Amino acid sequence: AKQSGRNRVRTYEAGMDSESAQRLILDRDLRAALTTGELLVHYQPVVEAVSGQPQGFEALVRWAHPQQGLVSPGKFIPVAEDTGLIVPIGTWVLGEACRQAAAWQGRGQALTMSVNVSARQFEQPDFVAIVRDALAESGLDPRLLILELTERVVLRNPEAAAVLLHDLRALGIRIALDDFGTGYSSLGLLKTLPIDVLKIDRSFVQGDSAEVMVGAIVSLAHAFGLKVIAEGVETSEQLAMVQALHCDGVQGYLFARPAPAHELMPVRPGWPVS
Ligand code: C2E
Ligand code: CA
Ligand code: CA
Ligand code: CA
């Protein structure tokens, strides 16, 4: 009994060691990646549902790991959120995305740029100043910038969030509520929060009761004067459905996967319809 007890403790400690060690390694490598240029931003087009014309892009971070290749944000964003490294990463992505959008704006293609914001970033006391600086340094028209926040982030402190969102919008930018419906949605949020866009999570677009869910969300959003973007549109059937249900914008592999900036622009005539 004594022996097995000791083993149990050992196994437990060994398990903890390897998990925390892995996180330490990831954190160390990610910190380095930020300074060595291993982080990249890919852009996924958002198109107008009816015309199929591009209306903008969503910036999505990637890690070009020297050994592991392109690492998806699902693998490292959660760790970066825990360690706080998401703050400098997020600031870098914001700056990069604004510079890219400003470059496209300079070529006469005024397309929106959506940037994801995590809870840690949003809760930085100087977050509004960070956004203001990114706009000033890039010269991007604030009307082209959209910050995407999830309900989860906003619900941590709805009153504080409302104040902050007002300050952000006073910069001239817009706010999107991301992954709508996947968290503990509160319909009250839509009434009280200063937001402009609802993004419908792909689990609803691709799910069993897609028509009912998407239809309900669109009616709700439009009743509050919000634009709706359907995510994860992969098939022409899904596109037909979200068009019929009056979604304003569409994003998904049917049109384009996230890609480096140079592969996406300049937009060809008629792109991406064909
Ligand atoms: P998200 O904000 O909901 O971004 C949409 C995700 O859906 C992206 O995954 C995109 O590549 C993927 N996607 C788009 N269209 C389709 C489709 O038709 N089918 C399928 N199966 N997937 C599609 P990605 O790039 O792996 O990003 C995952 C998540 O990581 C994002 O979800 C976002 O929460 C987070 N993330 C990405 N970049 C950043 C960033 O710069 N900052 C922060 N804080 N989070 C980020
Ligand atoms: Ca997003
Ligand atoms: Ca989303
Ligand atoms: Ca999502």
**Does 156 or 147 have the greater pLDDT score?**
147
Q: How many A from CA of 55 to the centre of ligand 1? A: 18
Instruction: Round to whole Å and give the CA distance between 35 and 89.
Output: 10
Instruction: Name the residue with the closest Cα to ligand 1, atom 42.
Output: 116
CB atoms closer than 10 angstroms to residue 266: 11
pLDDT at residue 155, rounded to an integer: 86
Instruction: Name the residue with the closest Cα to ligand 1, atom 15.
Output: 252
pLDDT at residue 5, rounded to an integer: 46
From residue 122, alpha-carbon distances to 81, 119, 136, 161, 272 in Å are 12, 5, 19, 9, 33
By the 8 A CB rule, do 227 and 249 touch?
yes
User: What pTM was estimated for this model as a whole?
Assistant: 0.92
**Identity of the amino acid at 221:** A
- Report which of 167, 110, 101, 106 is spatially closest to residue 134, judged by C-alpha positions: 101
Instruction: Round to whole Å and give the CA distance between 100 and 106.
Output: 10
Phi, psi (degrees; rounded to nearest 5) at 130 = -60, -45
Most confident of 10-19, 165-174, 204-213: 165-174
Q: Ligand 1, from 70, 231, 237: best to mutate by most atoms within 8 Å of Cβ?
A: 231
Cβ-based burial of 214 (10 A; exposed 0-12, middle 13-18, buried ≥19) = buried
Q: Ligand 1, from 87, 116, 204: best to mutate by most atoms within 8 Å of Cβ?
A: 116
Q: How many A from CA of 10 to the centre of ligand 3? A: 41
pLDDT tens, 174-212? 999 999 888 777 788 888 899 999 999 999 999 889 999
Whether ligand 1 lies within 6 angstroms of the CB of 96 is answered as no
Instruction: Round to whole Å and give the CA distance between 199 and 218.
Output: 10
Q: What is the mean pLDDT of residues 106-123?
A: 91
**Percent of the chain having pLDDT more than 90?**
72
93-102, 131-140, 188-197, 243-252: least confidently modelled range? 188-197
Whether ligand 1 lies within 6 angstroms of the CB of 73 is answered as yes
Q: What is the mean pLDDT of residues 55-76?
A: 94
Kindly compute the dihedral angle of the four CA atoms of residues 94, 194, 58, 236, in this order, to the nearest 10 degrees. 170
Q: What is the mean pLDDT of residues 168-175?
A: 98
pLDDT band at 272 (very low <50, low <70, confident <90, very high): low
Instruction: Round to whole Å and give the CA distance between 251 and 59.
Output: 12
pLDDT tens, 91-105? 999 999 999 999 998
Which residues, in sequence order, are CB contacts of 125 under 8 Å at separation 6+? Answer: none
